[in-house]
């Protein structure tokens, strides 16, 4: 089946339970795939898994997807394999096909014969039709499909207004004020339709728990903790190639965290380990690498989970978050010779994450936990300690927290692994929930801003990570697009001159760098 080689990745989501599958046969996860109770994700695979229940081998010669009628499907064809055609029967047996992405390929034919149509079935309602396919392949039959009549579809609205071709009526699915209107009759209110997108820029062949991007002497670096290789990899930004390249490798034992800190024009990297203590490394200009500077006193830290680095006035601190019941989240303070324990916070609560932020002009620290609601501390200038300020009720089991501002209004983004991740807003007295985002396998809800656009990216261990974009009118984050990263653990923004990038780390696969680009739909 030569056509199968054109797949870069395939995600098959099953509506049947795995117990039903196992009743029919013993299912073994295919090589190169990740399997859960309701999904099979194959990345970089050159074949469709054949050991899938409900699939009849004798039918493979005439139909790619026959008898998988219970499946919800998402297929992506990526240009690096130069897909050249899609046969007429390629999607037979898929009445629930929801998404089809075809990017940068060399397609000579979409469907064999003279009838070229996207109206394969009424349930296949395209929200966004690729311009490449429409114009190159003379698609004209759009019946049964609904479109969002926004900037992303302006090219189609303009074409419908100007074309003399016979085209079936196409209607708007939204927004609400345009729903049900013929696309060709939509008012020309999108005079300047400049939208944005996130496109793949670089694939980094390493797993990582996080990416800490830092600037030192006009250069850009990324510190990546790589548990599988027991090292903290330092990568350097190549300004000419506009990509990250290896720079240094700090080896250790059970490395789970790397964070940079700049003190007195010196660059340090804090490396936390599950065993054999944690260490601080200092950049040595003569050797052009990071060398050991200090062993960190870890007597009260049992299971480090996060490192938060911050300044209060002229003082430099970092906090190691402890995620065990036997340890204590510990605050360390710089004293001109090194970092030493300064305060013990939040004992016996399995802390998961910490975030330092400004709360009405005062330094504040928030800690999330698997066993109780998030706790807020404020800095007391008198005793030079953090003191308990408040807790955020009804927010149990949050795994991460990030603070951000929109129009100088303070918000918190908190990720819940299974349940609803939350966006909260500061009222001047307390934090109140303003938006919930269903999450499944989420380790981070990361806010960031490129140009004048505010975004949130919600990670997922089981499917696609969701990027949300701030809607100024609704004052909410609206789903914008999806990106796929295998078991993502962090999304870190990077701006270099006129270009913006998003560094996505993977716990079980390759890390990726996406570029934020502007798209003119006018």
**pLDDT at 3 (0 to 100):** 34
Residue 182 confidence class, pLDDT cut points 50, 70, 90: confident
DSSP H/E element including 24: helix 18-24
**pLDDT at 269 (0 to 100):** 98
Residue 44 has pLDDT above 60, yes or no: no
Spatial CB neighbours of 259, under 8 Å, sequence gap ≥ 6:
212, 223, 269, 270, 307, 309, 318
Mean pLDDT calculated for residue range 157-174: 76
More confident residue, 478 or 67: 478
Percent of the chain past pLDDT 90, that is, above it, reads 54
| Lowest-confidence segment of 161-175, 192-206, 403-417, 498-512 by average pLDDT | 161-175
Q: Which of 76-85, 260-269, 340-349 has the highest mean pLDDT?
A: 260-269
Q: Are 253 and 271 in contact (CB under 8 A)?
A: no
Residue 228 confidence class, pLDDT cut points 50, 70, 90: confident
Residue 9 confidence class, pLDDT cut points 50, 70, 90: very low
Residue 37 confidence class, pLDDT cut points 50, 70, 90: low
How far is Cα 272 from Cα 290, in angstroms, rounded to an integer? 15
State whether residue 70 is helix, strand or coil: coil
Residue 437 pairs in a beta bridge with 421
More confident residue, 186 or 417: 417
DSSP secondary-structure letter at 29? P
Half-sphere exposure of residue 54, counting CA atoms within 13 Å on the CB side?
16
Mean pLDDT calculated for residue range 336-348: 89
Residue 335 confidence class, pLDDT cut points 50, 70, 90: very high
Model confidence over 370-399: pLDDT tens digits?
888 999 999 999 999 999 999 999 998 899
Model confidence over 277-305: pLDDT tens digits?
899 999 999 999 999 999 999 888 989 99
Q: Walk across the sheet containing 9-14 and list its strands.
A: 33-35, 39-43, 9-14, 71-78, 97-103
pTM of the model: 0.69
Q: Which of 14-28, 78-92, 106-120, 442-456 has the highest mean pLDDT?
A: 442-456
Radius of gyration of the chain (CA): 26
Model confidence over 320-329: pLDDT tens digits?
999 988 889 9
More confident residue, 359 or 140: 359
Q: What is the DSSP string of 129-163?
A: --HHHHHHTT--B-TT-EEE-SGGGHHHHHHHHH-
Write down the mean pLDDT value for the chain: 78
DSSP H/E element including 272: strand 266-273
CB atoms within 10 A of CB 293: 17
Residue 52 confidence class, pLDDT cut points 50, 70, 90: very low
Closest CA to 375 of 386, 360, 384: 386
Mean pLDDT calculated for residue range 138-157: 70
CB atoms within 10 A of CB 256: 22
């Amino acid at each position: 089946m030569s056509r199968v080689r054109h797949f870069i990745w395939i995600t098959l989501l099953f509506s049947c339970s795995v117990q039903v599958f196992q009743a029919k046969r013993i299912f073994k996860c295919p090589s190169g795939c990740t399997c859960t109770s309701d999904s099979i994700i194959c990345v970089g695979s050159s074949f469709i898994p054949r050991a899938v229940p409900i699939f009849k081998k004798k039918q493979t010669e005439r139909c790619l997807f026959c008898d998988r009628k219970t499946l919800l499907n998402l297929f992506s064809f990526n240009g690096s394999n130069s897909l050249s055609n899609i046969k007429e029967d390629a999607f037979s047996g898929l009445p629930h096909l929801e998404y089809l992405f075809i990017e940068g390929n060399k397609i000579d034919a979409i469907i064999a014969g003279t009838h070229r149509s996207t109206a394969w079935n009424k349930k296949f309602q395209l929200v966004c039709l690729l311009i490449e396919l429409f114009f190159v392949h003379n698609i004209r039959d759009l019946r049964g499909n609904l479109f969002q009549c926004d900037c992303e579809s302006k090219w189609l609205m303009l074409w419908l207004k100007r074309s003399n071709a016979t085209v079936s009526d196409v209607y708007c699915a939204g927004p609400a004020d345009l729903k049900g209107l013929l696309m060709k009759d939509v008012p020309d209110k999108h005079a300047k339709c400049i939208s944005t997108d996130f496109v793949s820029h670089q694939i980094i062949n390493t797993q990582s728990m996080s990416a800490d991007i830092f600037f030192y002497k006009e250069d850009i670096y990324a510190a990546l903790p790589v548990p599988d290789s027991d090292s903290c990899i330092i990568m350097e930004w190549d300004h000419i190639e506009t990509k990250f390249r290896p720079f240094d490798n700090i080896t250790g034992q059970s490395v789970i965290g790397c964070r940079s800190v700049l003190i007195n024009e010196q660059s340090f990297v804090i490396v936390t380990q599950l065993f054999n203590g944690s260490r601080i490394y200092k950049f040595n200009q003569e050797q052009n690498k990071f060398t050991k500077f200090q062993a960190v006193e870890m007597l009260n830290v049992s299971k480090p989970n996060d490192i938060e680095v911050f300044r209060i006035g002229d003082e430099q601190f970092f906090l190691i978050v402890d995620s065990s019941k036997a340890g204590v989240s510990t605050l360390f303070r710089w004293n001109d010779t090194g970092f030493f324990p300064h305060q013990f916070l939040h004992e016996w609560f399995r802390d998961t994450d910490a975030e330092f932020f400004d709360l009405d002009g005062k330094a504040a620290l928030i800690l999330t936990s698997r066993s109780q609601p998030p706790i807020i501390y404020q800095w007391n200038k008198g005793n030079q300690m953090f003191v308990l300020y408040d807790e955020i009720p009804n927010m149990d089991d949050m795994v991460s927290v990030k603070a951000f501002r929109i129009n100088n209004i303070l918000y918190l983004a908190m990720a819940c692994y299974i349940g609803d991740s939350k966006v909260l807003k500061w009222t001047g007295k307390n934090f109140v929930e303003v938006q919930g985002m269903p999450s499944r396998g989420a380790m981070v809800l990361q806010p960031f801003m490129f140009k004048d656009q505010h975004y949130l990216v919600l990670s997922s261990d089981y499917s696609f990570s969701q990027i949300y974009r701030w809607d100024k009118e609704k004052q909410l984050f609206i789903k914008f697009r999806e990106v796929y990263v295998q078991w993502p653990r962090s999304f870190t923004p990077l701006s270099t001159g006129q270009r913006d990038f998003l560094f996505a780390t993977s716990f079980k696969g390759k890390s990726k760098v996406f570029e934020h680009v502007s798209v003119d739909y006018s």
